[in-house]
Structure 1
Amino acid sequence: MSRPLPGSLARALAAGAAAVLVLGAAPAVSAHDHHDRPGHADRHASLRSLAARQDVRIGTAVDTTALSGDRTYRALTAREFNSVTAENVMKWEVIEPERGTYDWSEADALVAFAKRHGQAVRGHTLVWHNQLPAWLTSGVADGSIGPAELRRILRDHITTQVRHFRGDVYQWDVVNEVFNDDGTLRDSLWLQQLGPSYIADAFRWAHAADPRARLFLNDYNVEGVNAKSTAYHELAGKLRAQGVPVHGFGIQGHLDIQYGFPGDVRANLERFAALGMQTAFTEVDVRMDLPADDTKLTRQADDYRRLLDACLNVRSCTSFTVWGFTDKYSWVPGWFEGQGTANLLNEDFAPKPAYDAVRRELAAGR
C-alpha cells in the first residue's frame, strides 16, 4: 500500500534549482550545507541555514504523498528544513492497521529521506484519541478488549514503534491532547478504560524502548498561560517529581487571526524551562477567513514572527515546526469551512509575508 520514494539526492537538488527560483533565492545549496558560505547574503539563505546559526531546529510536517509525487515540494522540504515530522504516517491507524500487523513503509521512507538530507525526525504521535485503528476502537466498544488487555496493547504498540525507530527519532510526541481547554482531563477511550495512569505508563514504556529520545507532552491552545497550559505544567511537575521521563512540552501553535495573539507566550515557555524541561513549537500554522488580503497576511506574518521570537528568546525551546509549509497541501480548508492560506508559501510555492518574517526573525537570532 506504500508508494516508493522516487528520486535521489541529485534529482532532488536538480528540482530544487527551479523551486528556489520560485522563492526568489540564490541557486540551491547542498542539503547537507547547514551554514551558508561566508559572505553569502542572508536574503539568499535557507531557513535551515539561518536556524542552524541559532542552535534551533526549523521543521515541517511532511505529506508523504506530496513528497513522493511533487518535485518542487520535495526539493523545498530538503532545502528549507532541518527537522521533519510525519503528518500522518506514524499515527496508529497507519502503523498498525490490523492487530499485530505493522506497516512501516511510508514512515521508513520519510526517515530515509531525512537521513539523505541531513534532517532530524520528530515522531508524532504514540498515544492519541484520534486516528486509532478500527480493530482497536471497535474492540473496546463491543467489550472484546477489556482494560487489562487494552493496557497490554498500548504497551506493546509504544514499545514496538519506538524500538523500530530507535536512534532515528530525536523527539516523540508521546501523549497528545489529553486536556480540555478548562484544564480537565479529556474523557478519551484511554482515560475511560485505564484511568490517568496511562500517561505515566506511556512515557515509561517509550523511554525503555529508546532511552536517548526526548519525550514530549503535546497539545493545542497552550501557547500562552491559561487553564490548559497550567494543567500541563502541574501534570509535568508531578510526573517529573515521581521520576517519570517527561522531557518536553510541545506547543502546537495552530492560530487563527480572528482571535487575539495568545498572552504570555514567553512566560509560558520559561515556566516549563524552570521544571528542567525542553519546549518546542510543534505544529505551527496561522489560518484566516477567506479571501485573504494584505491586512490579513500581515497579521499572519506577525503571529508567526511572535511565536518564533518567543522560542528564540528561551534557550530551552529547541525546535520550531510548521504544520506544512505550502497552502497547496494544507489540512486547514478541509477542517475549517471558509478558512485557509495558513502556511508560509502559497499554493504555487511563492513566499508570503509570513515566510519573509520567519527568515528575518531567524537572521536576527537569539
Structure 2
Amino acid sequence: MRKNRILVAAGVALATLGSVASTNLPAETSLKSVFKNDFHVGAALNHRQAMGQDPKAEAIIAQHFNTISPENLLKWGSVHPQPETFNYKPADAYVALGKKHKQFIVGHTLVWHQQTPNWVFEDGAGKAASKEQLLKRMQDHIAAVAGRYKGQINGWDVVNEALNDDGTLRNSKWYQITGEEYLAKAFEAAQKADPKAELYYNDYNMWKPAKRDGAIKLVKSLQDKGLKVTGIGMQGHWGLEHPSIQQIEESIVKFSALGKVMITELDIDVLPNPSNRQGADIDATFDFDQKYNIYTKGLPNEVQQKLARRYAEIFALFHKHRDKISRVTFWGVTDGDSWLNNWPIKGRTSYPLIFDRNYQPKPALEAIVQAVKKKDS
C-alpha cells in the first residue's frame, strides 16, 4: 500500500505535465526551495564548472542546489598525483564556489580503490608497499587534504566502494595489503583532520539486500570502535525500472538506524546496456556498439515521459522519508556532463539527468515538483 501511494502521487504529477517535451514551471522555481524543509538537493561539479568556466551551469547550480559534490577533482589521482605533489587549485576553486553560493560542501573521496596512483601501493622499487607504509601514506594524505579544508568542507566520503555486491569486503589493494584495518584508520584520520566534518561511507547497489547488510555490518563495526561515521551514502545509479521503489525504501529505512542517509550520485540510465549490468563499477566497460546508443538525435517523448515518471516516484519516496534523508545529489548538472555518456561504453548519447544539453529543465523537473506538491497538499 505504501508503494501504491507513492506511485499514485507520481502518476498525478505526470498527468499535470502536458507536453513531455517541455515544462510549465515558473522560471523562478527552485529545487532547493521545494525541499527546503526536507533535505539538501545538489549536483556533482566537473572541473570546468568548479573553475567557473561554465556560467550556464553555474546559474543552474545557484538557483536549484544548496549542496555540491566534486566529480573527480578531490579524488587521490587528481589532488595528490605524486608523493610530494598536490594539485589544490581546482579543489580550492570548488570550495570557493560553494562558499559563494552558501552551499553545503561535500568532499569526495579520501579512500577509494580507483583513481588512486600506483605509487600509493608501492614501496618505491615497484614492489608492494608494506602495511605500515600504506597506512601511513593514507593517513598523511587524509591529514593533508581534509586538513587543508578543515571548517570549509562540511562532509567527506571517507571510504568509497569498499564492498562487493555480496556484502563482503572488496579485494582491493587496500585490503590486500592492510586487511580491514585501513577502514578504521581512514575514519580515524578523517576525524582527526576535521573533528566537526560529517564523515560518510559511500557505495553503489546499496538496494541489494546482501550489500545493504554488509554495509550495515561495516558501519556498525566502525561505530562500535568509537569512530565517527555520520551516515551512509546510497549511490543512485539506477535505471528506468530497477531497482524497485520498495528495494530502495527498505535500504533507506535500515540505514537510518545508523545515522543520516544520503542519496548520492543520482542518475537514471535510459539506454540499453550490455550484460544487463547494474551499479557503477567503472572497470565494467565494453566496446562501442551502435545498438546500445539508440537516441543519438534526442530522447523520444515516450522515454522522456518514463524518465519523468521514474524521477517523480523516486522523489515522492525521498519526500516520504525526509526525516531520514539529509541530502540528495545528482551526479552531474546536465545530460552533457554525465559520466554515462562514456560508461559502460564510450561515445554514447545519454539522458540521465533533469537538465538537458542546452541547460534547459526536462519534464522530470516538473514531475518532481508536482509529486511533492501533491503529497504536501
Retained in 2: the 8 A contact 1:23–1:349?
A: no
1:176 correspondence with 2:121: no
TM-score normalized by structure 1?
0.83
For residue 270 of structure 1, report the CA deviation from its aligned partner: 1.6
Matches of residues 233-252 of structure 1 in structure 2 within 5 Å?
233-252=216-235
1:351 correspondence with 2:361: yes
Q: Which residue of 2 aligns with 1:4?
A: none
Retained in 1: the 8 A contact 2:264–2:329?
A: yes
- Give the Cα–Cα distance (whole angstroms) in 2 for the partners of residues 104 and 23 of structure 1: 40
Q: Which residue of 1 aligns with 2:53?
A: 69
For residue 269 of structure 1, report the CA deviation from its aligned partner: 1.4
- Give the Cα–Cα distance (whole angstroms) in 2 for the partners of residues 238 and 217 of structure 1: 12
Unaligned runs of 5+ residues in structure 1 are: 1-21, 28-43
Q: What amino acid does structure 2 have at the position aligned with 1:285?
A: D
Unaligned runs of 5+ residues in structure 2 are: 1-21, 272-293
For residue 113 of structure 1, report the CA deviation from its aligned partner: 1.0
For residue 357 of structure 1, report the CA deviation from its aligned partner: 2.1
Retained in 2: the 8 A contact 1:261–1:303?
A: no
Retained in 1: the 8 A contact 2:46–2:337?
A: yes
Retained in 2: the 8 A contact 1:308–1:320?
A: no
What are the Cα deviations for residues 124-177 of structure 1, in whole angstroms up to 9, with x where unaligned? 001000111243255589226322111100011111111111111111111100
For residue 262 of structure 1, report the CA deviation from its aligned partner: 5.3
Bigger relative CO (Cα 8 Å, ≥ 6 apart)? 2
- Give the Cα–Cα distance (whole angstroms) in 2 for the partners of residues 158 and 214 of structure 1: 14
Retained in 2: the 8 A contact 1:23–1:350?
A: no
Q: Which residue of 1 aligns with 2:86?
A: 102
**Bigger mean CA offset, 299-308 vs 128-137:** 299-308
Number of aligned residue pairs: give it: 326
TM-score normalized by structure 2?
0.81
What are the Cα deviations for residues 207-263 of structure 1, in whole angstroms up to 9, with x where unaligned? 1111111111101111x3511111101222222222121110000100122645353
Retained in 1: the 8 A contact 2:121–2:134?
A: no
Retained in 1: the 8 A contact 2:316–2:368?
A: no
Retained in 2: the 8 A contact 1:304–1:358?
A: yes
**Bigger mean CA offset, 257-266 vs 284-293:** 257-266
Q: Which residue of 2 aligns with 1:334?
A: 342
- Give the Cα–Cα distance (whole angstroms) in 2 for the partners of residues 116 and 325 of structure 1: 18
Q: Which residue of 2 aligns with 1:307?
A: 314
Percent identity over the alignment?
A: 32
Retained in 2: the 8 A contact 1:287–1:339?
A: no
Matches of residues 214-363 of structure 1 in structure 2 within 5 Å?
214-222=198-206, 224-257=207-240, 259-261=242-244, 263-275=246-258, 277-289=259-271, 290-291=294-295, 292-314=299-321, 315-337=323-345, 338=348, 340-363=350-373
Retained in 2: the 8 A contact 1:255–1:287?
A: yes
- Give the Cα–Cα distance (whole angstroms) in 1 for the partners of residues 58 and 154 of structure 2: 22
Q: What amino acid does structure 2 have at the position aligned with 1:179?
A: L
Q: CA RMSD in A?
A: 2.2
- Give the Cα–Cα distance (whole angstroms) in 1 for the partners of residues 245 and 131 of structure 2: 38
Secondary structure of 1:252's aligned partner? strand
- Give the Cα–Cα distance (whole angstroms) in 1 for the partners of residues 66 and 125 of structure 2: 41
Q: Do the aligned partners of residues 249 and 75 (structure 1) sit closer, same or farther apart at CA in structure 2, a change above 3 Å counting?
A: same
